[in-house]
Amino acid sequence: MQRARRSHCITNSGTLIRLLHHWTTRKRGTTIRFPVSTLFFKRFLKRPFQIASIVPSSKALVERVASKMDFSQARVIAEYGPGEGVHSREIARRMSADSHLLLFELDAAFSRALERQFAGDPRVHVIHGDAASLPFELKRRGIACCDYILSGIPFSILKIDKKRALLRKTYDALGPSGSFIIYQVTNELKQHATIFERAESEYFLQNIPPMFITVFHKTPSLQGRERRTGQTRKVSALVGADRSA
């Protein structure tokens, strides 16, 4: 059974920030810590629906999400809504010297903080803008496609047309065997992301709040089968015409 240790009465944001720095969850003798930066909490207060969570992802969640990616070779990875960069730092730590990481952050304060964090890393590109600009940013940098796209933005608050448009751009920006990885409080995006051929989900409890981690796979097999079927039909039609003649 889990229980969070916190004050019964919070008088101001400063008190809550100090409290959250020491927020722990106890489970069978173990303690999981969820450190919170002042910047993260201030941005949450200003944009609660955009930030979506009062605390950044736990170390356990960050490592679990990163484990969904294969870093054995050079990769192009994009991240929607990196916030203060907890996932970005782990990805940058694992990826090779010739990989690229594109960070799309709408919040100006987070964007500036990310630029400072990765100022000395030429592999990391911070874009202060909408995730929908991914195709343009790839083309501008001469990059053909992404191997992985990671997102922590709350898709559930997006209007349906914007949600579907971003899913389409995400799908198109991925390579033939690319993956779109999300971590969300709800798993409602799964019903909208039918453009992807396959999806795998898990409910991860070692985070406040618990998160659904879903990996949407873009597989070349379906497209290949469609092309082969079309070619077979054309060949069959030609053979049939020859026999008729």
Residue 244 lies in a domain: no
Residue 231 lies in a domain: no
Same domain for 124 and 188, yes or no, is yes
State the total domains in the chain. 2
Where does 39-191 show beta strands of DSSP type E?
A: 76-80, 100-104, 124-127, 146-151, 174-184
The stretch 105-131 carries a mean pLDDT of: 95
Rounded to 10 degrees, the C-alpha dihedral 173/127/133/63 comes to 40
Segment 127-162, tens digit of pLDDT:
999 999 999 999 999 999 999 999 999 888 889 999
Residue 238 lies in a domain: no
Residue 232 lies in a domain: no
Model-level pTM?
A: 0.73
Residue 217 lies in a domain: yes
Residue 137 belongs to domain with CATH number = 3.40.50.150
Same domain for 147 and 173, yes or no, is yes
The stretch 81-97 carries a mean pLDDT of: 96
Same domain for 45 and 68, yes or no, is no
Is residue 207 predicted with pLDDT exceeding 70? yes
Residue 239 lies in a domain: no
Lowest mean pLDDT among 3-12, 63-72, 129-138: 3-12
Residues 59 and 8: their CA atoms lie apart, in Å, by 26
Residue 87 lies in a domain: yes
